[in-house]
Amino acid sequence: MSEELKRALEDCGAILYGDFTLASGKRSRYYIDIKRATTDPRTLGLIADLMAREIEGEAFQRIAGVVLGSVPLAVALSLRTGVPFVMVRKERKDHGTGKLIEGPLSPGERVLVVEDVITSASSAMYAVETLRQAGAEVGTVLAVVDREEGGREALQRVGVGMRALITASHILG
């Protein structure tokens, strides 16, 4: 499973080497450009299939993706599973409804948060907190890649389990 994903990420050009500054502010010698992967239909389809297999048998009422990077993942997984999705905004718009969560969400619904790459997990933790404030039950984050840089532990501290389709050590190994 992870070999196929690693190959797909390489084939679509999503694994880059050089000197990069990550969203967390950390410097890295590699970058995983998941936007490149999620704009490639074959790779996005594979990711959706793998995510669907990962959550098979679990009961979620909603899938949530943070705007912008995780929305294609939420959409693709929703299409594979039939579970509706919501989008979590990072900030309120000053027009329209001004909501942080786009799409219907009822208090008490069990929500799976999907993420592209987890480093510090700050984006995922923001989504969890926003969804919980709206009354959702969030206990799981499913990521494509775990960079293995403390994100899993940060999520555990707020009572959220994290799973990933592939780890950075597997990609780099």
Look up the CATH number of the domain holding residue 62.
3.40.50.2020
Tell me how far apart the alpha carbons of residues 123 and 105 are, in angstroms, rounded to a whole number.
19
Q: Are 144 and 73 in contact (CB under 8 A)?
A: yes
Q: How many domains are there within the chain?
A: 1
pLDDT band at 122 (very low <50, low <70, confident <90, very high): very high
Domain containing 29 equals: 2-172
- Give the three-state DSSP class for 14: coil
23: which residues sit within 8 A by CB, 6+ positions away? Answer: 119, 122, 123
pLDDT at 1: 64
User: 24-33, 46-55, 83-92 — which one is most confidently predicted on average?
Assistant: 46-55
- Mean pLDDT to the nearest integer, 148-162: 97
pTM above 0.75, yes or no: yes
